[in-house]
Amino acid sequence: MSKYDELIPFIYENIGGAQNVISANHCATRLRLKLNDTSKFNEDKLKNNALIMGTVKRDNEVQLIIGPDVPEVYSLFSRKLEGVESSAQEGPKQNRSLKSYGTLIVDFISGTFVPVLPILVAAGLVSAVLNILVTFFGVSGESGTYIVLNAVNNAGFYFLPVYIGYSAANKIGINGMMGMFLGAILVHSSIDGAEGLTFFNLSVPTMAYNTTTIPVIFGVLFMALLDKGADKVIPQSIKYFLKPLIVILITVPVTLILLRKFQV
């Protein structure tokens, strides 16, 4: 039993319940929640809980400072949100200011990259370990030890579009596995850096997708639009099978061809 099991209902009780939550995500130390009605956010009670180190409130977003265990808290918190439709979607549309759009963009970028940082940190430090082993302990570049550790280092960066695809999809509220799928397609050996590739006679620009994260981010954003549209038009009885097929078959060529102009 997790020590946070009792914290989750306490949080819901003091933020207005699951129906008051528009979206939830986390960064390195904070559980970040967007609420439909922030007047239901009981800041005093929340920050007096021993498991919550502090609170922050900005516009309709509230942050609970949890510490390094925030992924566990987020996992427990998000389970309760599954299947719950936010009442914010039924409320009147609000006019957004330029500042709020800027905040939204920064929130998306941070929410996408922060969960991936442990991979980059680990991979980068493995490179340092390799240099130490080679320089001071005489480990050969042809040894099995070197090959294994070098693979750990390379995998952390080469497959970055896969990790970013999963993280961005989760952040934007669609199936993370579909974002991961798109990232894996982009770094596939038959597409990554391929020359002379065409799709239905349309030229596919040559690009090394393993060295950039912009294509997969744009691809996931486009995928989210398709995902929401497909939800509305595909019958429930066949949605489980048909929606991922349609979404990926449209997203991949659009990402490779049409979205290429934005992938600087």
Does 139 fall in a domain?
no
pLDDT above 50 for 207: yes
pLDDT bucket at 90, cuts 50 / 70 / 90: very low
Count CB neighbours of 61 within 10 A: 17
Is the pTM higher than 0.75? The answer reads no
Last residue in a domain, options 67, 93, 119: 93
Does 219 fall in a domain?
yes
Last residue in a domain, options 77, 93, 109: 93
Does 37 fall in a domain?
yes
Cβ contact 171:25 at 8 Å: yes
Q: pLDDT tens digits, residue range 59-68?
A: 889 999 998 8
Q: Please, what is the Cα angle at 240 between 235 and 243, to 5 degrees?
A: 70
Residue 143, token pair as written in the block = 């040894």
pLDDT bucket at 262, cuts 50 / 70 / 90: low
pLDDT above 60 for 30: yes
Does 186 fall in a domain?
yes
Residue 35, token pair as written in the block = 């609420």
Does 143 fall in a domain?
no
Residue 56, domain CATH: 3.30.1360.60
Please report the beta strands in the chain, taking only residues with DSSP state E, as ranges in sequence order.
Answer: 21-26, 30-35, 54-58, 61-65, 198-199, 202-203
Domain that holds residue 206: 160-262
Does 67 fall in a domain?
yes
Does 2 fall in a domain?
no
pLDDT of residue 249: 97
Count CB neighbours of 185 within 10 A: 22
Same domain (yes/no): 81, 165: no
| Token pair 């066949």: residue | 238
Q: pLDDT tens digits, residue range 100-116?
A: 667 778 878 888 998 89
pLDDT of residue 169: 92
Does 148 fall in a domain?
no
Nearest to 66 by CA among 33, 17, 89: 33
Q: State how many domains the chain has.
A: 2
Residue 61, token pair as written in the block = 């977003």
- Strand 61-65 versus strand 54-58 pairing type: antiparallel
Last residue in a domain, options 93, 125, 144: 93
Count CB neighbours of 31 within 10 A: 22
Residue 234, token pair as written in the block = 């595909």
